[in-house]
Amino acid sequence: MSSVARSVEESPSESHERGGPVRHRVEELDSVVVRFAGDSGDGMQLAGTQFTNASAIFGNDISTLPDFPAEIRAPAGTLAGVSGFQINFSSQDIYTPGDLVNTLVVMNPAALKTNLKDLEKGGLLIVNSDAFTFNDLRKADYATNPLEDGSLSAYRVIKVPINTLNREALKDIRLSPREVDRCKNFFALGLVYWLYERPLEPTLRWIREKFAKNPAILEANTRALKAGYNFGETTELFPVQYRVPKAHIKPGTYRKITGNEATALGLVTASILCNKTLIYCSYPITPASDILHALAEMRRYGVRTFQAEDEIAAVGAAIGASFGGALGVTGSSGPGLCLKSEAIGLAVMVELPLVVIDVQRGGPSTGLPTKTEQADLLQALFGRNGESPVAVVAPCSPADCFDMIIEAVRIALRFMTPVILLSDGYLGNGAEPWLIPDVNALPRIEISHPTKPNHDGQFMPYLRDERLVRQWALPGTPGLEHRIGGLEKEDVTGNVSYDPINHEKMVRIRAQKVANIANEIPPLSVNGPEEGDLLVIGWGGTFGSITTAVNRARRKGLKVASAHLRYLNPMPKNTGEVLRRYKRVLVPELNCGQLLLLLRGRYLVDAVGLNKIQGKPFLVSEIESEIYRLIGS
């Protein structure tokens, strides 16, 4: 395990000759990474989620990573059908779901095959040995049984006949054999709960609430969970039990939140903070659809969702809603952003607020729809005809989606501009604890709409304030009737104008207006020394890996700092100055070097990139090694 065992003690459980609890050593650890893997039908996501909740409630810091198959229902037992869920829980601040897995639970051979590569050498491998029949092995393309052919000798393999034990535990409950078998995830979960001293109560409560209407299932899951727990306590299969103490976490009320949930909650919150109806217009697409789903459930909060016929309609409707004075938001993934580009250009021209969410996925084209990537940054900045500046922001963690989507709304409304929020599959589906904010403490977003002419008894739609922002006059307001559109407009009046000098003026005004946003965002801060040998700078979901890697390298004595750009356009005003304080600059990205091009082009620093394009987040170790490679160690 990646952190050092600090204390060894006897398990408090009483010792018996046989059948009863046996004596176990307890080791204390900083952090542990557990992964549950099985067939899509095996309930691994549920097991992972429950484990996460239990760990969070216990008081650990947590970070999680679910991994779904691309197919809806790949045939049971096949490699394509494997579903996994990884949890990193710790007594320290953690930022990533962890590089290597310490304990891997596999429910079938396919899960073993696809997940083994991530298990650390010497790691604990809990195997549902009942699922290693000839048929199961064949479906997973195994030529020989890995439980027998010695190929697992580098790991601490614990074979548990989970099917059998679970059936045994549930044998007198009136359920079909299939229903009984579907409880086996709870058996496995119970076993791992015991191993890591997790409290059973949160999960037992969840089972009670969830299955209140189905007593047999309630009873079965409860028993399976306890049976798994007791199995750990009773057998001698596990010589050691592990303990991960509570973390020192900021006091408050927490919940676990995925990036997509946080985005949805942030939107509703923003709509309340600015006192506008949220109209979320979207066309389903992986991995963004869950935002639509979450918001569709929020009619009670006045939210309107509009499932459009395509992405063009979605963005058009969002702009139309904004024109009407609502909070028009549209969300999609990369291919959808392509389709929205023309309309975003229109929003630039008419200077209406618009929030566009892009939950990035692997590309190009349809690419790897269920995987993560950061390759839409330059598209967000430049993917439109003409000089068409928009604001771009990116959350750095699942929970940060809440804050950054509120930022996106704030910028859009205060600057009458489209804002693109770049989330990604990793952030959207990944979860972390979220300190539930005090609603009343959140700053309101103040907006006003003109009700009277603004210029000699006339209304000039393109008259601007000192920040270059025009007024948001709403249809229905008497006397402010005006027309907007995609043709170049005359300064102040907003009438169509083909005048060359006016065009240049307007292009520059639009650019300056977006640049002015830099006056209202926080400066770029660094984690680590204010100057030094290396700055590792990133954006988006790489925050956790970068921070962890840099912290580790610094603990090894290197003069390395990290910085994270949550505002990509405009960038914080001090960005160039920060970059120049370090001898070298490293830019890790899940793309071929997009931020890198911007930083080099804008600030003329000889930054280098660390690029991974595998549909997966960075491992901490990957960034760490690159740090050592660059500045020795």
Partner 1 sequence: MSTVATTPLPTLTPKDLSSDQDVRWCPGCGDYSILAQMKKALAGLGIPREKFVFISGIGCSSRFPYYMNTYGFHTIHGRAPTFATGLKIARPDLSVWVITGDGDGLSIGGNHLIHAIRRNVDIKIILFNNEIYGLTKGQYSPTSRIGTRTKSSPQGSVENPLRPLSIAIGAEATFVARTLDVDVNHLTDTLRRAAFHKGAAFVEIYQNCKIFNDGVFEYATDKSVKADNTLYLEHGKPLIFGKDRNKGIRLKGLDPEVVTLGNGVAADDLLIHDEKAEEPSLAYLLSRMVYPRFPECFGVFRAVERPTYEALINKQVEDVIRAKGPGKLEELFASDDIWVVS
Ligand X SMILES: Cc1ncc(C[n+]2csc(CCOP(=O)(O)OP(=O)(O)O)c2C)c(N)n1
Q: Minimum distance between the CB of residue 580 and a copy of itself, rounded to whole angstroms?
A: 14
Q: Is 206 in the site for partner 1 (CB under 8 A)?
A: yes
Q: How far apart are CA 216 and CA 286, in angstroms?
A: 36
Q: How far apart are CA 225 and CA 219, in angstroms?
A: 10
- Would you say 352 and 322 are in contact if contact means Cβ atoms under 8 Å apart? yes
385 binds, among ligand X, ligand SF4, partner 1, none (CB under 5 to 8 A by kind): none
Gyration radius (Cα) of the chain, Å: 27
Nearer CB in complex with ligand X: 32/313: 313
Q: Is 367 in the site for partner 1 (CB under 8 A)?
A: no
Looking only at residues 443 through 482 of this chain, which bind partner 1 when binding is defined by CB under 8 A? Answer: 453, 457-461, 475-482
Q: How far apart are CA 418 and CA 329, in angstroms?
A: 10
Please name the helix (run of DSSP H) or strand (run of DSSP E) that holds residue 10, with its range, or none: strand 8-10
The correct pick among 175, 218, 272, 509 for binding partner 1 (CB under 8 A) is: 272
Looking only at residues 578 through 597 of this chain, which bind a copy of itself when binding is defined by CB under 8 A? Answer: 591-592, 596-597
What is 54-118 written as a DSSP string? HHHHHT-EEEEEEE--SSSSPPTTSGGGEEEEEEEEESS---SS-SSEEEEEESSHHHHHHHGGG
Cβ–Cβ contacts within 10 Å for residue 6, how many? Answer: 11
Q: Minimum distance between the CB of residue 532 and a copy of itself, rounded to whole angstroms?
A: 22
Contacts of 512 by beta carbon, 8 Å cutoff, 6+ apart = 468
Angle between helix 500-516 and helix 400-415 axes, rounded to 10 deg: 150
Nearer CB in complex with partner 1: 77/609: 77
Burial of 400 (0-12, 13-18, 19+ CB in 10 A): buried
The residue ranges that bind ligand SF4 (CB under 6 A) are 72-73
Which of these ranges, 24-32, 225-233, 254-262, 368-376, lies near a copy of itself under the rule CB under 8 A? Answer: 368-376
Q: In what side-by-side order are the strands of the sheet with 8-10?
A: 8-10, 25-28, 240-243
Structural tokens at position 183: 């409880």
Structural tokens at position 260: 């997509």
The correct pick among 284, 367, 450, 529 for binding ligand X (CB under 6 A) is: 284
Contacts of 73 by beta carbon, 8 Å cutoff, 6+ apart = 40, 81
The CA angle 404-409-412, to the nearest 5 degrees, is 120
The CA angle 432-437-442, to the nearest 5 degrees, is 135
Residue 528, by phi and psi: left (phi above 0), alpha (psi -120 to 50) or beta? Answer: left
The contact mask relative to ligand X for 326-355 (x = CB under 6 A, - = no) is ---------xx--x----------------
Q: Is 598 in the site for a copy of itself (CB under 8 A)?
A: yes
Q: Is 251 in the site for partner 1 (CB under 8 A)?
A: yes
The correct pick among 122, 239, 252, 522 for binding partner 1 (CB under 8 A) is: 252
- Would you say 1 and 120 are in contact if contact means Cβ atoms under 8 Å apart? yes
Q: Is 278 in the site for a copy of itself (CB under 8 A)?
A: no
Q: Minimum distance between the CB of residue 349 and ligand X, rounded to whole angstroms?
A: 13
The correct pick among 86, 322, 333, 429 for binding a copy of itself (CB under 8 A) is: 333
Q: 392: helix, coil or strand?
A: strand
Q: Which of 86, 92, 90 is nearest to 555 (CA)?
A: 92
285 binds, among ligand X, a copy of itself, ligand SF4, none (CB under 5 to 8 A by kind): ligand X
Nearer CB in complex with ligand X: 436/496: 496
Which of these ranges, 146-154, 225-233, 335-343, 441-449, lies near a copy of itself under the rule CB under 8 A? Answer: 335-343
The contact mask relative to ligand X for 233-272 (x = CB under 6 A, - = no) is ----------------------------------------
206 binds, among a copy of itself, partner 1, ligand X, none (CB under 5 to 8 A by kind): partner 1
Structural tokens at position 363: 């590309």
- Would you say 327 and 301 are in contact if contact means Cβ atoms under 8 Å apart? no
Q: Is 74 in the site for ligand X (CB under 6 A)?
A: no
The contact mask relative to partner 1 for 491-510 (x = CB under 8 A, - = no) is --xxxx--------------
Contacts of 627 by beta carbon, 8 Å cutoff, 6+ apart = 534, 536, 549, 550, 553, 558, 560, 586, 633
Nearer CB in complex with ligand SF4: 72/212: 72
Nearer CB in complex with partner 1: 95/283: 283
Q: 150: helix, coil or strand?
A: coil
Q: Which residue, chain included where needed, has tokens 């910028």?
A: 411
- Would you say 210 and 46 are in contact if contact means Cβ atoms under 8 Å apart? no
Q: Is 285 in the site for ligand X (CB under 6 A)?
A: yes
475 binds, among partner 1, ligand X, a copy of itself, none (CB under 5 to 8 A by kind): partner 1
Amino acid at 314: A
In the complex, residue closest to ligand X by CB = 285
Q: Minimum distance between the CB of residue 71 and ligand SF4, rounded to whole angstroms?
A: 8
151 binds, among a copy of itself, partner 1, ligand SF4, none (CB under 5 to 8 A by kind): none
Q: Is 292 in the site for partner 1 (CB under 8 A)?
A: yes
Nearer CB in complex with ligand X: 86/372: 372
Q: Minimum distance between the CB of residue 338 and ligand X, rounded to whole angstroms?
A: 7
Nearer CB in complex with ligand SF4: 73/246: 73
Nearer CB in complex with a copy of itself: 135/366: 366
Q: Minimum distance between the CB of residue 291 and partner 1, rounded to whole angstroms?
A: 11
Q: Minimum distance between the CB of residue 428 and ligand SF4, rounded to whole angstroms?
A: 21
Q: How far apart are CA 302 and CA 289, in angstroms?
A: 20
Q: Is 342 in the site for a copy of itself (CB under 8 A)?
A: yes
Q: How far apart are CA 78 and CA 140, in angstroms?
A: 5
Q: Minimum distance between the CB of residue 76 and ligand SF4, rounded to whole angstroms?
A: 13
- In the complex, the residues that contact a copy of itself under the rule CB under 8 A are 70, 333-335, 337-339, 341-342, 345-346, 348-350, 360, 362-371, 373, 375-376, 378-379, 381-388, 485-488, 498, 500-501, 503-504, 507-508, 510-511, 591-592, 596-598, 600-602, 604, 606, 612-616
- In the complex, the residues that contact ligand X under the rule CB under 6 A are 283-285, 311, 335-336, 339, 366
